[in-house]
Structure 1
Amino acid sequence: MTDPVLSDPQLPTFSSISPDRIKPELLELLNSNRQRIAKLVENPEATWDTLAQPMDDMSDQLNQMWSPVSHLNSVLNSDALREAYNGCIPELSQYSTEIGQNRSLYEAYAHIKSSGEFQRLNEAQQKSITNILRDFHLAGVDLADEKKAKYKEISQQLAELGSKFSDNVLDATQAWSKHLTSEEALKGLPKSALAGARQAAKSRNLEGYVLTLDFPSYYAVMTYAEDPELRREMYEAYNTRASDQGPHAGRYDNSRIMQDLLRLRREKALLLGFETFAHYSLATKMAQSPEEVLEFLNDLAEKSVMHARKEFAELEAFAREQGADTVDAWDVSYYAEKLKQERYAISEEELKPYFPAAKVINGMFTVVERLFGITLEEVSDFETYHPDVRYFRVKEDGREIASIYMDLYARENKRGGAWMADYAVRRRLDNGHIQKPVAFITCNFAPATDEHPALLTHNEVTTLFHEFGHALHHMLTQVDCYEVSGINGVAWDAVELPSQFLENWCWEEEALAMISGHYETGEPLPKDLLDKMLAAKNFQSAMMMVRQLEFALFDFRLHHEYAGEENFDILALMNEVRDKVAVIKAPAFNRFPHSFSHIFAGGYAAGYYSYKWAEVLAADAFSKFEENGVFDAKTGREFLHCILEKGGSREPMDLFVEFRGRPPKVDALLRHSGILPEAVAS
């Protein structure tokens, strides 16, 4: 069989994205699509080529128009761009609902499903048609006209509210900063953090130091600052963002937005015949019922909480030895870092010089080359929107198969966090050629300073591997069908499998030799530091486990238990969950939900449990490498062929079983977390 001809998509021309042209161009494209769809459904004998292929063409074209706009809105936000972006949200929502409720279009797809052609379609095409028909029902195609109109109105409001929630968090994050003229006030902060604070002051034309709520700055203060009042001040500013509390109380408050989102999500679910929004959310996931999710989370909590309480008791005892009367929420990271240093004689700061970003990136590429047989090659001549951005071609057997943009450093007007997004999806074009996929990776690491290049904590190294795992899932797919290519069509609670799976190599000695090297000498991570790092791997891992379970249980119960109350007590539910699983007492002013963008502005509503669900799959998948060798090429290619290449073309459980030879077990996750003893693990 000859290799398909691979075609480059037209890469985004960021400089041509003008805020005043975004909406007119979008409307022109949407109206053109509407006219094409009206013609397509006139054909009573729809086939893949006369219906599904042209619909995929339109989806792809829309994605390639909107994706760079959405990306710039997140990484280079401005008033004009935000206004243009938010002005398009209702148009996109209306268009999406129109498509989903188009009865003629639904019947045309249903015709393909019931025709003789369906059996002749390949596996990916069949799955695509099946998913599309399911999504028509979830978009309200069966509703009466009056209810369809209501659904459309709800969807539009939800899209606008999610965007507003996100804007408020970004604005609240940027609104706070603290200018200090004395280094004494920052006692305890490592050199790299001081350099970053100096750089932040310099960029504002100020002398001294500036602290911000960008994560590298916040993390450094919470972990190292000796002044408990400074830690408390920063903790409060960070954990009251976009709320009724804290230094900007009420200014960017998301309280009403959260209530409206809950109410509208429930209305949408009820319209479609679901009992709760949680039931609706699971219609496209691996988990079959809310009971299954809650049982999964509670079971993990039961296995972890006692360990977490023991870890916290040890931390409190240590803090008392250091002269502390109490351990408040803003003290936890500080004393945890000191205890870690005492116990293992190692700190994240000590490791940073060994993880310069350039070395980590090149080493990560070597890791995936050995596992999956691909190489990455940097391109210097490409159109960018910021000097920090780098662009790479992905090659297999010397032939380019995909490409990726990487934007890794925190800066003003950039949304916090880390994520992968796609620009172009692998798919078969009308001329039979295959379009190459293109990905974006965004992170918020501390940038280079005048004193040193960008240096990563080991946690940040893990974050980079995580996002790159998502990108591999998108870029290495062999599926040629838009709806199920790459991460498209993958059940949300399985989409984190490749990302969490790749994190494992950040802890393997052989891989660490590739991704580490002192930024001044090039010396690899010394054996004694490596041993200490590995020994400290599971330090407070049960506390980290219950923290994630706290978020997951809060999210799922919120969407399962909310029954339309006028002012549902979101914080009371948060505190109820905390009473059950949390070991760190949150202060009364804590407003974590108000900046919980994953569930209020992202795609994780009633789905945050997916991280833990997929972590079970990832740990169990990695255990096959532990058995066969962490760089065993045969096992690497099996993971490539069974998981990464298949995208959403088959059910994730079937793909996992094909790779692992059996259904997943939770043991590997508990063992990797140090919660289940090695001897007990099977």
Structure 2
Amino acid sequence: MDQAVNNPLLDFTDLPRFSEIRPEHISPALDVLLERAQAAVARAEDPATPSDWANAVEALEAVTEPLGRAWGVVGHLSAVADTPELRKAHAENLPRMTEFWSSLGQSLALYEKYKALATSPEFGGMSAARHQLIENELRGFRLGGAELPEDQKPRFAEIQEQQAQLSKAFSDHVLDATNAYALFVEDPARLAGLPEDAQEAARHAAEKDGKAGWKFTLHFPSYFPVLQYADDRALRQTLYEANVTRASEHGAQYGSGQADWDNTANMREQLALRGEEARMLGYQCYGEVSLVPKMAESPAEVLKFLDELAVKARPYAEQDWSELKAFAAAELGLADLAPWDVAYASEKLRQQRYAFSEHEVKQYFPEPKVLQGLFGAVERLFSVKIQPDTSQTWHKDVRFFRVSAADGTLLAQFYIDLYAREGKRGGAWMDDARGRKILAEDKVQTPVAYLTCNFSAPVGDKPAQFTHDEVITLFHEFGHGLHHMLTQVGELGVSGINGVEWDAVELPSQFMENFCWEYEVLTGMTQHVDTGEPLPRALFDRMLAAKNFQNGMMTLRQIVFSSFDMHLHTDFDPQGAKSVLELSREINDRVHVVPQYPLSRWPNTFSHIFAGGYAAGYYSYKWAEVLSADVYAAFEEAAQLSGTVLDSETGARYQREILSVGGSRPAMDSFVAFRGRAPQIDALLRHGGMAA
């Protein structure tokens, strides 16, 4: 315990001591944890050690879980509070962490122990969750290279380490390029059309830098309102071009940084390494490796699914695009619709057609009311209580909450970090700080989640106000959080999101988004920032009418990303003549109705697949949407009888069959247990306005 007192990263008695953790704690903590882990692995591998649950699984988990938790804290801080010192400490330790996990996955002796356990009499008496965990581990050993000839294992380990380094570098380049850019505007006339809160945030940002005028950056809450609202076309073009050239060979020219932040070579290197890894494991391509632990059977099945969805969406997308071009030419004098005009013209068309602007809607979503409404909906659906709690955090804006059962029993806790800032990577995500498991003497280690977004921070004395899209994002991430927090599985490896097939992991998150389109839910989470009025029914009806505005175009955009990802990992040659960029253009030309701008280098910032674990898995957003829409349809059916989509009986069944079982059984089994049948695509097409 003395070490834990001196080194907060070694204290696992409760929550991370964020305000005390410093970069200099990282290496010494990992020295201790790696030494313990390596000793435990050696004991488990010893031929004299029995091949049973206690010695093969529990003994290893006892040392790998604290190691994973400590490194998870380091990774989390790198994502939300990056500093040069932290980045250096992370980079120094990444190789040895990768080496440890690679050597664990490659251990033939451990693999043999698990195989012996799976055929032992003990296995027959185990719970379904333990069976699933052991099956997953056996698969993990096969994919980790345990069956490779000994002389090939060093190269396989080297590939893992190089991939980890490249993935971190990719992410760092995107973050650095985003942070490096600043555009100062001094002429107020250039801000015409920009909402007051966006102007105020830009003025505040310039003031903070000791400059006059307004400062715009490539962080989404700063950059996107310009694209959406600014009448100054040149201003839109400047920011658009800076954004689409981040982390590319054009970055320096357009203001987002240095030549060595160009991710072009990094992508090719990662793809070549993934291909080599796949061939060493006996697969034809990395797409096949990626799908082994997923629901989809083969790359061909995924591409067929995407192509069929594209065919259904295309007529709607063509109509969206031709309407937008006609409107822009006739109403805005934009005969040639440039990429930096699309969001602007779309917002103007939406306002004309549905008589509201996103800015008008935003004023009904002040942060305190939104959180109150989100928590209220969750409490009704799942019979839980969400209350503020106390814990150390990594930034003053971070808040902490507890989730309790109706009888007051603690179920879980979560941190929520909502605002964009420097040193924090873009996007939104849920991550686990700690998983659920049954400890000795019937004590439970309760799960803890991180919920991270990048919304606009409050300026002045008003609370932050969220766009409806941001509210949807918040519900999405909270859906992931519920999957992690409401699990009832006691085995760490399959509790919560652990062990859930990657193409099913988006089901609970996308499911929650649907409630953002229900008036009964929105009345409980809206309050005009000035008048205190809830969202008027007439405005909601116009929002609902606009819900599927340009959904055809947006669906094709997602299919471009998904197809690009799958082709990159199945039939693209990273050493060939064709570049990653050329492949992206080819797929865009084939699938999309909106042309890809020649200057655009969007693959260079596609962090999901090059730094976020979605390689050959980006399709899972669309795949899971079929499942989530069908699951939500059960709540719509229940509402016809009970009068509310927040139907607690259906909520309890959803919690029992999907959330609480986590990864302890195949996702398809959980879906069928909830729905009583196999999934159907009808609800997705209906919700998306693409049903005949």
| Same fold by TM-score greater than 0.5 | yes
Deviations 1:277-299 (A, max 9, x none): 00010011000011110000000
Inter-partner Cα distance in structure 1 for 2:577 and 2:489: 46
Inter-partner Cα distance in structure 2 for 1:349 and 1:85: 40
Residue in 1 that maps onto 2:652 = 637
Equivalent positions of 1:34-49 (< 5 A) are 34-42=38-46, 43-49=48-54
| Pairing 1:79–2:112 present | no
When normalised by structure 2's length, the TM-score is 0.95
Q: C-alpha displacement at 1:431, in angstroms?
A: 4.1
Higher deviation after alignment, 514-523 or 640-649? 514-523
* Secondary structure of the structure 2 residue equivalent to 1:417: coil
Higher relative contact order (CA 8 A, sep 6+): 1
Inter-partner Cα distance in structure 1 for 2:523 and 2:657: 28
Q: For residue 674 of structure 1, what is the amino acid of its counterpart? A: G
Q: For residue 105 of structure 1, what is the amino acid of its counterpart? A: L
Residue in 2 that maps onto 1:410 = 420
2:49–2:55 contact (8 Å) kept in structure 1? no
Residue in 1 that maps onto 2:685 = 670
Structure 2, unpaired ranges of 5+ = 1-11, 640-644
Q: C-alpha displacement at 1:566, in angstroms?
A: 4.7
Q: C-alpha displacement at 1:657, in angstroms?
A: 0.7
Counterpart of 2:499 (choices 470, 489, 492) is 489
Equivalent positions of 1:40-79 (< 5 A) are 40-42=44-46, 43-79=48-84
Inter-partner Cα distance in structure 1 for 2:191 and 2:75: 37
* Secondary structure of the structure 1 residue equivalent to 2:524: helix
Inter-partner Cα distance in structure 2 for 1:585 and 1:647: 41
Equivalent positions of 1:402-441 (< 5 A) are 402-441=412-451
| Pairing 1:224–2:229 present | yes
Q: C-alpha displacement at 1:45, in angstroms?
A: 2.6
Q: C-alpha displacement at 1:9, in angstroms?
A: 5.4
Residue in 2 that maps onto 1:610 = 620
1:197–1:209 contact (8 Å) kept in structure 2? yes
| Pairing 1:16–2:20 present | yes
Inter-partner Cα distance in structure 2 for 1:596 and 1:69: 23
Deviations 1:123-166 (A, max 9, x none): 11110011001100000101111211110000000000000000
1:106–1:133 contact (8 Å) kept in structure 2? yes
Q: For residue 99 of structure 2, what is the amino acid of its counterpart? A: Q
Counterpart of 1:293 (choices 288, 302, 315) is 302
Counterpart of 1:252 (choices 257, 261, 276) is 261
Higher deviation after alignment, 569-578 or 265-274? 569-578
Inter-partner Cα distance in structure 2 for 1:85 and 1:599: 21
Residue in 1 that maps onto 2:3 = none
| Pairing 1:539–2:549 present | yes
Residue in 2 that maps onto 1:4 = none
Counterpart of 2:405 (choices 396, 400, 405) is 396
Counterpart of 2:202 (choices 170, 190, 197) is 197
Inter-partner Cα distance in structure 1 for 2:167 and 2:117: 35
1:493–1:610 contact (8 Å) kept in structure 2? yes
| Pairing 1:361–2:371 present | yes
2:206–2:213 contact (8 Å) kept in structure 1? yes
Deviations 1:449-499 (A, max 9, x none): 015210000000000000000000000000110111100000000000000
Inter-partner Cα distance in structure 1 for 2:449 and 2:258: 38
1:9–1:435 contact (8 Å) kept in structure 2? no
Q: For residue 523 of structure 1, what is the amino acid of its counterpart? A: E
* Secondary structure of the structure 2 residue equivalent to 1:441: strand
Inter-partner Cα distance in structure 2 for 1:434 and 1:57: 15
Aligned-pair Cα RMSD in Å: 1.2
Equivalent positions of 1:310-459 (< 5 A) are 310-321=319-330, 322-379=332-389, 381-397=390-406, 398-450=408-460, 452-459=462-469
Aligned length: 669
Inter-partner Cα distance in structure 1 for 2:623 and 2:302: 9
2:268–2:575 contact (8 Å) kept in structure 1? no
* Secondary structure of the structure 2 residue equivalent to 1:411: coil
Inter-partner Cα distance in structure 2 for 1:329 and 1:563: 30
- Segments of 4+ moved more than 6 angstroms: none
Higher deviation after alignment, 623-632 or 280-289? 623-632
Deviations 1:353-402 (A, max 9, x none): 100111111100011111111111012x4211211100000011122110
Q: C-alpha displacement at 1:579, in angstroms?
A: 0.8
Counterparts in 2 of 1:424 and 1:567: CA distance versus 1, 3 Å: farther
Q: For residue 321 of structure 2, what is the amino acid of its counterpart? A: F
Q: For residue 390 of structure 1, what is the amino acid of its counterpart? A: R
1:328–1:585 contact (8 Å) kept in structure 2? no
1:44–1:108 contact (8 Å) kept in structure 2? no
Q: For residue 386 of structure 1, what is the amino acid of its counterpart? A: H
Equivalent positions of 1:581-660 (< 5 A) are 581-629=591-639, 630-660=645-675
* Secondary structure of the structure 2 residue equivalent to 1:90: helix
| Pairing 1:160–2:160 present | no
1:63–1:423 contact (8 Å) kept in structure 2? no
Residue in 2 that maps onto 1:270 = 279
Q: For residue 111 of structure 1, what is the amino acid of its counterpart? A: A
Q: C-alpha displacement at 1:66, in angstroms?
A: 1.4
Inter-partner Cα distance in structure 1 for 2:443 and 2:59: 15
1:9–1:424 contact (8 Å) kept in structure 2? no
| Pairing 1:554–2:564 present | yes
Residue in 1 that maps onto 2:241 = 236
* Secondary structure of the structure 2 residue equivalent to 1:391: strand
Q: C-alpha displacement at 1:251, in angstroms?
A: 4.2
* Secondary structure of the structure 1 residue equivalent to 2:152: helix
* Secondary structure of the structure 2 residue equivalent to 1:244: coil
| Pairing 1:280–2:289 present | yes
Q: For residue 232 of structure 1, what is the amino acid of its counterpart? A: Q
Q: For residue 36 of structure 1, what is the amino acid of its counterpart? A: A
| Pairing 1:95–2:100 present | yes
Q: For residue 656 of structure 1, what is the amino acid of its counterpart? A: F
Inter-partner Cα distance in structure 2 for 1:589 and 1:124: 50
| Pairing 1:116–2:126 present | no
Deviations 1:36-81 (A, max 9, x none): 1212333443221222112222232112211221111111110000
1:308–1:540 contact (8 Å) kept in structure 2? yes
| Pairing 1:171–2:185 present | no
Q: C-alpha displacement at 1:217, in angstroms?
A: 0.9
Structure 1, unpaired ranges of 5+ = 1-7, 678-682
| Pairing 1:25–2:35 present | no
1:90–1:156 contact (8 Å) kept in structure 2? yes
1:429–1:435 contact (8 Å) kept in structure 2? yes
Inter-partner Cα distance in structure 1 for 2:261 and 2:49: 52
Q: For residue 124 of structure 2, what is the amino acid of its counterpart? A: Q
Q: C-alpha displacement at 1:567, in angstroms?
A: 5.5
* Secondary structure of the structure 2 residue equivalent to 1:615: helix
Residue in 1 that maps onto 2:475 = 465
Q: For residue 220 of structure 1, what is the amino acid of its counterpart? A: P
Q: For residue 299 of structure 1, what is the amino acid of its counterpart? A: E
Inter-partner Cα distance in structure 2 for 1:44 and 1:416: 47
* Secondary structure of the structure 2 residue equivalent to 1:560: coil
Residue in 2 that maps onto 1:680 = none
Counterparts in 2 of 1:503 and 1:9: CA distance versus 1, 3 Å: farther
Inter-partner Cα distance in structure 2 for 1:566 and 1:318: 42
Higher deviation after alignment, 59-68 or 220-229? 59-68
Q: For residue 543 of structure 1, what is the amino acid of its counterpart? A: M
Higher deviation after alignment, 44-53 or 356-365? 44-53
Inter-partner Cα distance in structure 1 for 2:574 and 2:145: 21
